[in-house]
Amino acid sequence: MNDVKGAAALRATLVFNLGTLGALASDRFAARVEAIGLKPKHAGLLAALDAGSGASQQELATRLGVAPSLIVALADQLQELGAVERVRDPEDRRRQVLTLTTEGRLLLARCAEAAEEADAELTAGLSDVQRTALTRSLGALGEQQVPR
């Protein structure tokens, strides 16, 4: 039975550790953005809109890898908060372009603050050098996973 891998082998894997810490980090971030009336998916949509010029709901769904109906529901909620605005594309009246409003940019900034607070809490036991190395390594891993 010595050749059977057990709990120690599982705990030594990157995917297990990332999954465990990811769940913890997600919960902490969710609690913080819920305090400002949002969910993490709202923050993701705000960030996606901020990353470029206005985009259609369909384009955003494709870019984020989610169902278009999710983008529509999130955009409806963000529009009610005054965070996004829908504008008909003058070249294609069937297409609605989403853009961030001033309120949307303020909410995005609050989401960034919430993420920074969660980061600080999660990495409190690390040195600045360790925190920087972790951030860079996770960024590199994330970049490698993006389909080209």
Q: Write the DSSP assignment of 90-143 as a string of letters.
A: TTEEEEEEEEE-HHHHHHHHHHHHHHHHHHHHHTTTS-HHHHHHHHHHHHHHHH
Return the pLDDT at 65. Answer: 87
Q: Residue 36: helix, strand or coil by DSSP?
A: coil
For residue 90, what pLDDT is reported? 83
pLDDT of residue 2: 58
Kindly list the averaged pLDDT for each block of 10 residues, start to end, along the chain of length 148: 77 94 96 96 95 82 91 96 91 86 96 96 96 95 82
pLDDT of residue 89: 81
What pLDDT, on the 0 to 100 scale, is given for residue 53? 65
Report the C-alpha gap between 86 and 49 in whole angstroms: 12
Question: What is the predicted pLDDT for the residue at 35?
Answer: 95
pTM: 0.84
